[in-house]
C-alpha cells in the first residue's frame, strides 16, 4: 500500500531508508565511504542512506561527506546523523591531497546550472576536477555520477537513448560531462582503478 508523503522530513526519511540489498551491500563492502560533492540535491540523502544501511548491517564504517558546505545547517544535519563532514573547495590547489585515504569513493561534484557566461568554471568542475580526483584516488574504487545529456537528442516517439547509443553531447555542459567520464576512464586504464559510471 502506497503512503503519501506530506512533509520534507517524511520525504528525506523515505529517500534515505535502506533496502535489504542496501544493507547487504554495506555489510559486504570492504572499507569506508567518501562522498565527494555531497552537498548537492542527492548527496545528503545518499550519505544518510549509507549511514543507515551500515548501522543496520551492524558494521563499523566511516561515512564521510565532502562539500563546500556554504549552508552550515546542512553540515550540522549530516553530523547529527553520524556522518563525518569535511568542508573543502575541491578546486583549490592541494585540497584533494588533504582528504583521507579511503577505499570507496562516490564522486558527485559537478556544475550543471549557470554555464552560460562562465563555461570555464563548468569545464573545471566537470572535467578538470575529475582528472585530479581520478589520480588522487587511483588506489580506491570509484563510482561517478554522469548524465544522459551525453547522448544526442532523441525524438520522443523513439523512446529515448539507450546505453548502446553513441554519445553526441549537445552544448558545453553535456560536453564537459562527457569529459568527466573520459577522465575517470583514463584513470581506470592508467592505474587499473575500478570505476563505475552511472548516467542518470
pLDDT at 115: 66
For 169-199, the DSSP string reads: --SHHHHHHHHHHHHHHHHHHHH---EEEEE
Structural domain count of the chain = 1
Nearest-angstrom CA–CA distance, 184 and 133: 8
Helix, strand, coil abundance in the chain, percent, nearest 5: 45, 15, 40
CATH assignment of the domain containing 180: 3.40.50.720
pLDDT in tens, the chain (200 residues): 567 888 988 999 989 999 999 999 999 999 999 999 999 989 999 999 999 999 999 999 999 999 999 888 999 999 999 999 999 999 999 999 999 999 999 999 998 876 677 889 999 999 999 999 999 999 999 999 999 999 998 888 888 888 899 999 999 999 999 999 999 999 999 999 999 999 99
In a domain, 10, yes or no: no
Please state the separation of Cα 61 from the chain's center in Å: 18
Whether residue 3 lies inside any domain: the answer is no
Cβ pair 86, 99 in contact under 8 A: yes
The angle subtended at Cα 84 by Cα 27 and Cα 33, nearest 5°, is 35
Flag whether 4 is in a domain. Answer: no
- 8 lies in a domain? no
Asked if residue 84 belongs to a domain, the reply is yes
- The domain in which residue 128 lies consists of 19-199
Q: What's the rounded Cα separation, in Å, for the pair 154 and 148? A: 11
Instruction: Tell me whether residue 9 is in a domain.
Output: no
* 72 belongs to a structural domain: yes
Q: What is the pTM of this model?
A: 0.92
Residue 12 lies inside a defined structural domain of this protein: no
Amino acid at each position: 500500500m502506497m503512503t503519501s508523503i506530506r512533509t520534507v522530513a517524511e520525504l528525506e526519511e523515505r529517500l534515505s531508508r535502506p533496502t535489504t540489498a542496501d544493507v547487504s551491500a554495506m555489510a559486504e563492502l570492504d572499507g569506508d565511504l567518501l562522498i565527494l560533492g555531497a552537498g548537492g540535491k542527492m548527496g545528503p540523502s545518499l550519505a544518510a542512506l549509507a549511514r543507515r544501511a551500515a548501522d543496520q548491517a551492524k558494521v563499523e564504517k566511516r561515512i564521510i561527506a565532502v562539500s563546500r558546505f556554504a549552508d552550515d545547517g546542512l553540515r550540522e544535519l549530516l553530523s547529527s546523523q553520524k556522518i563525518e563532514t569535511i568542508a573543502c573547495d575541491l578546486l583549490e590547489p592541494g585540497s584533494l591531497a588533504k582528504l583521507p585515504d579511503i577505499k570507496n569513493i562516490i564522486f558527485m561534484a559537478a556544475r550543471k546550472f549557470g554555464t552560460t557566461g562562465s563555461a570555464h568554471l563548468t569545464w573545471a568542475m566537470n572535467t578538470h576536477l575529475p582528472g585530479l580526483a581520478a589520480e588522487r584516488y587511483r588506489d580506491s574504487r570509484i563510482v561517478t555520477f554522469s548524465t544522459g545529456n551525453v547522448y544526442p537528442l532523441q525524438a520522443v516517439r523513439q523512446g529515448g537513448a539507450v546505453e548502446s547509443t553513441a554519445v553526441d553531447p549537445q552544448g558545453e555542459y553535456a560536453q564537459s560531462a562527457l569529459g568527466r567520464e573520459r577522465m575517470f576512464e583514463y584513470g581506470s586504464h592508467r592505474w587499473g582503478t575500478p570505476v563505475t559510471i552511472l548516467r542518470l
